Chains A and B, each alone.
Chain A
Amino acid sequence: MATKLPRKDVAIIGLGWTGAILAHELTEQGLDVVAVERGPWRDTATDFNIGYAPDELRYAVRLELFQRPAQSTLTFRNNDAQAALPMRQFGSFLPGNGVGGAGVHWNGQTWRFLPTDFLCRSHLEQRYGASFVPEELSIQDWGVTYEELEPYYDKFEYLAGISGKAGNLDGKIQAGGNPFEGARKREYPLPPMQMTYAPTVFAEAARAVGYHPFPSPSANLSRDYTNPLGIRMGQCTFCGFCERFGCANYSKASPQTAVLPVLMRKSNFTARTECEVVKVNLDRFGQYATGVTYVDSSGTAWEQPADIVLICAFAFNNVHMMLVSGIGQPYDPKTREGTVGRNYAYQTNSSVQLFFDDKIFNPFIASGSLGQTADDFNGDSFDHTGLGFVGGAGINCIPTNGRPISYRPVPPGTPLWGKNWKDATRKNYLRSFQFTSQGSSYAAYANHLDLDPTYKDRLGRPLLRMTFDFPDNDIRMSNWVTDKMEIIAKAMNPRQYVVNRRARPYSSVPYQSTHNTGGAIMGADPKTSAVNKYLQSWDVPNVFVIGASAFPQNAGYNPTGTVGALAYFAADAIINKYIKAPGPLVQS
């Protein structure tokens, strides 16, 4: 039996970006908050120590900061006809672990989704007709609009000190920014970062062929910054150890650099680390959460009663928590009924690698979000009539590093070892770069998350089972955008360029993206969404499920900006609506 602890107002599962933001907002209201985090405590000076933080083997290859499969993993299959098998090591995506979560190891590319992204199905049907969306897709509207989220995007961007240039201020297009973005009320808190050579070459070529490149918005800071909480961060030094690393320089926005120094000083906040929540406890009718049960690292179980439970883990871990706790009806792809596990989506990427003889790019001078983006073919910013697909992709030239265990570009056909490999590696390392497309991933009825019937985690719970393959729609989209990338590549006049297109079947092995979305999606209809627009469970109203798990489908952008906005939007609803009148915030 679990030992019962004193009641708290709020129990938060996971202390990453969303957990830290919610904890800060709710403790400001005087609520007593505990966050339960299954990984270790981490802070900059200790854990991202500048004396040894730039260690590619330890952090980028052996994956020190990430969720360890021994603690928990997923099973995977491409379709229902296969038996799912465990991902014994992570490959295609790398979920974070410990305090800070994915906010520690991210690159910092911080976007707003397009206004039409939030009206995904209704906008497309209105513009192109009711039968335009391919039958395989289960895309939906979000139940919240860009205009509603704008102040919360702003709040997150100022918390994080995003460096960028507005492209649309109150409807007026601004030179130097993204002309396709939704209207923003004010500029980014910091100007764009100093530009390295490869993105400069890319932008010149993209402009020459008629596209509209601009500096990618970045959570790597272009200047020193003091955020609205009074926390100071430092200018990025372009060290090239961003993704998969904690920042030793206080230059990458993270819970550690933007929230925790204030949050941890509050007497009404407690963090419990190395404590893994087993489940959310429900009352005997399953209608109300009574708190959470967790085990500490000795295996001892504890019950933490709480009036509100916030599930703030990584996207698919949120879904797992709901399924093992019995919150909401699991999704069944055969009947297309049920909500939890529905609309799992990902990201549909492609790339072009260029090789030059006459240019030196110094790939090690880099940061995780320093580069240029052409957004001409993202979302529905271009006319899809006659194209045979919906969705789009950002075209990004953001060379994040030159770390040589993983980054050693050579032309195709080069042997993997021996004298010729060595010569080609030496010749091309400084003289090559890559640009990529980051494509939308539109939800399909067949792609979903549920509990695995065979494999268990260390606590005896079923592993989460992922069933996913790229929809044909998304492959058509990615190929079309990749054709546009070839036009840019040719304009740069390289010695050689190599196109890497996205193809089925999806593989869980090579790294692609840690932008896993959906499974506990938000929406206006409790039949097709697990949470309402405030991220409140339709079924258990004192549970909120916060993160990219709420995305009904994924857009052609990195998710963190939208995750941050949703966190602030949910916090606002809890403070100004729920606490005043606990119960469902939207009537089903």
Chain B
Amino acid sequence: MADRFSLSPPLGITRRWLLASTAALGAAGLASSALGRTYRGGVLPWEPNDTSPPVPVRPGPWLYFTADEAATIEAMVDRLIPPDDAGPGGKAAGCAVFIDRQLAGAFGDSRRLYMRPPFMPGTAQQGLQSPLVPKERYRATLAALEAYCKATFAGKGFAALEGAQQDQVLTGLEKGEIKLKDADAKVFFTLLLANTMEGFFADPIYGGNRDMAGWKLVGFPGVRYDFRDHVAKHNQPYPLPPVSILGRSDWSVPE
């Protein structure tokens, strides 16, 4: 029988494609058509330009959120990270766009995680045991929260509340004091806060941290990569502004 491992990938299909299809294997079972790879000794198995750079998030319509959900999330991230003299808040920094794009991708459906049943309650030390994937959790919780807000605040949804009322609701979620119908408020809040911070501090390539607002807030210079000229300058501020994987806007030639 022919050694199937020595087969080259079909024309036009890169090694990356094979790797990506392996990543999906957990969800798809063993029905994938991709094969394993054999690297016979004698040559270095290196192929030029066979890289997998991140795909920059593009502005435009919401990919996962409905318009109402997006309005709520934008209001939430702007209370979690409020705009002030030190810089933009979560909304202007693109945190809601970041979360939307994350939920539409691999993070949103937990495809890399162990999602086999049975799902049974455990101890805190055993970690989250829930069949609910992040995008379902967002949708379900936002719906329950909207109902809660309208019942509590004379028909107003979260996005229509005053800032102090929004903080009051967020605090209620954080402390588990607000009970939502069919949704775990505390688990949702932990997820929302983590995703908001990711959006504020991740590379701008993912749609948040717009204009490197998060990095400028704290003084993180991004992907400079070589600090050999500053390592011995103890107790001295680092002088250069931050750089993203995409570079800097002032590096671009104006169109």
Contact = CB atoms under 8 A, between A and B. Distances in A.
Interface of A: 3, 5, 27, 40-41, 43, 45-47, 49-52, 54-58, 61-63, 68-71, 73, 76-78, 82-89, 91, 194, 196-197, 200, 235, 237-241, 248-249, 261, 263-275, 294-300, 302, 359-362, 364-365, 402-405, 408, 416-419, 421-423, 425-426, 429-430, 454-456, 458, 505-509
Nearest to B76: A417
B41 A296 contact: no
Interface in B2-48: 3-5, 15, 18-19, 21-23, 25-27, 29-47
A9 to B, nearest CB: 13
Interface stretch (B58-66, B119-127, B146-154): B119-127
A249 B224 CA distance: 13
Interface of B: 1, 3-5, 15, 18-19, 21-23, 25-27, 29-47, 50-54, 79-82, 84, 86, 106-107, 111-116, 118, 120, 122-129, 167, 170, 174, 193, 196-198, 201-203, 205-206, 214-215, 217-228, 230-232, 234-238, 245
Contact of A509 (B127, B196, B206): B127
A274 B26 contact: no
Contacts of B43: 264-265
Contacts of A429: 218-220
Contact of A274 (B18, B80, B167): B18
A315 to B, nearest CB: 19
26 contacts: A50-B225, A62-B112, A68-B113, A69-B114, A70-B25, A83-B122, A85-B129, A239-B226, A263-B41, A264-B45, A272-B36, A274-B37, A297-B22, A297-B34, A297-B36, A298-B32, A298-B33, A360-B236, A362-B237, A365-B231, A408-B197, A417-B80, A418-B80, A419-B82, A421-B81, A507-B124
A51 B31 contact: no
Contacts of B228: 194, 235, 237-238
B235 A360 contact: yes
Given A265-B43, A296-B36, A508-B125, A58 B54 contact: yes
Contacts of A78: 123, 125
A406 to B, nearest CB: 9
A270 B41 contact: yes
Contacts of A62: 106-107, 112
Contact of B47 (A46, A269, A297): A46
A403 B224 CA distance: 12
A264 B36 contact: no
Nearest to B4: A300
Residue from the set B18, B40, B44, B129 with the largest chain A CB neighbour count within 10 Å: B40
Contacts of B174: 416
A509 B187 CA distance: 14
B123 A197 contact: no
Contacts of A273: 36-37, 39
Contacts of B34: 274, 297-298
Given A47-B51, A365-B230, 19 more contacts: A49-B51, A55-B205, A55-B245, A62-B107, A62-B112, A70-B26, A76-B126, A89-B114, A89-B127, A194-B228, A248-B225, A264-B45, A272-B37, A274-B18, A274-B36, A404-B218, A419-B82, A419-B84, A423-B86
A275 B36 contact: yes
Contact of A237 (B36, B221, B227): B227
A467 to B, nearest CB: 12
Given A46-B47, A267-B41, A194 B232 contact: yes
Given A237-B227, A429-B219, A295 B30 contact: yes
Given A57-B202, A70-B26, A237 B226 contact: yes
A360 B237 contact: yes
A525 B76 CA distance: 62
A54 B245 contact: yes
Nearest to A237: B226
Residue from the set A49, A56, A273 with the largest chain B CB neighbour count within 10 Å: A273
A400 B119 CA distance: 37
Given A265-B42, A265-B44, A200 B220 contact: no
Residue from the set A68, A76, A82 with the largest chain B CB neighbour count within 10 Å: A68
Contacts of B33: 298
A89 B116 contact: no
B191 to A, nearest CB: 12
Contacts of B124: 507, 509
A417 B22 contact: no
A239 B82 contact: no
Contact of B86 (A68, A269, A404, A422): A422
B41 A269 contact: yes
Contacts of A248: 225
A424 B194 CA distance: 18
A454 B116 CA distance: 11
Given A239-B227, A422-B86, A264 B39 contact: yes
Given A238-B231, A426-B86, A509-B124, A264 B44 contact: yes
Contacts of B128: 88-89
A206 B8 CA distance: 58
Contacts of A421: 81
Contacts of B115: 70, 88
Contacts of A47: 51-52
B53 A405 contact: no
Contact of B38 (A70, A197, A270, A508): A270
B30 A299 contact: yes
